[in-house]
């Protein structure tokens, strides 16, 4: 998912993965590396990857 604030020029990419290893595999995949390299000159600052542990509890 991609979210952002066009007025502030902020764009965020959000991915949901089943494990940390799966997320690392995706981040290092050639397609994403190529994309980051292609937009590097358009970025105001270096992107920072943040891991969040999300837990949802469902109650019946």
Which tens digits make up the pLDDT trace of 5-39? 878 877 777 888 888 888 888 877 887 788 888 88
Look at residue 59 and tell me if it is in a domain. Answer: no
Look at residue 58 and tell me if it is in a domain. Answer: no
Tokens found for residue 35: 């994309």
Look at residue 25 and tell me if it is in a domain. Answer: yes
What contacts 30, CB < 8 A, 6 or more positions away? Answer: none
Domain count, the chain: 1
Query: What's the pTM?
Result: 0.48
Look at residue 18 and tell me if it is in a domain. Answer: yes
Question: Which pLDDT band holds residue 54 (cuts at 50, 70, 90)?
Answer: confident
What are the φ/ψ torsions at residue 7 (nearest 5 degrees)?
A: -65, -40
Look at residue 30 and tell me if it is in a domain. Answer: yes
Look at residue 7 and tell me if it is in a domain. Answer: yes
| Domain that residue 11 falls in | 2-42
- How far apart, in whole angstroms, are the C-alpha atoms of residue 6 and residue 32? 22
């Amino acid at each position: 998912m991609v979210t952002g604030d066009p007025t502030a020029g902020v764009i965020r990419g959000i991915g949901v993965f089943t494990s940390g290893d799966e997320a690392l595999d995706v981040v290092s995949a050639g397609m994403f590396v190529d994309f980051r390299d292609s937009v590097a000159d358009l970025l105001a600052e270096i992107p920072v990857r943040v891991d969040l542990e999300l837990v949802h509890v469902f109650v019946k």
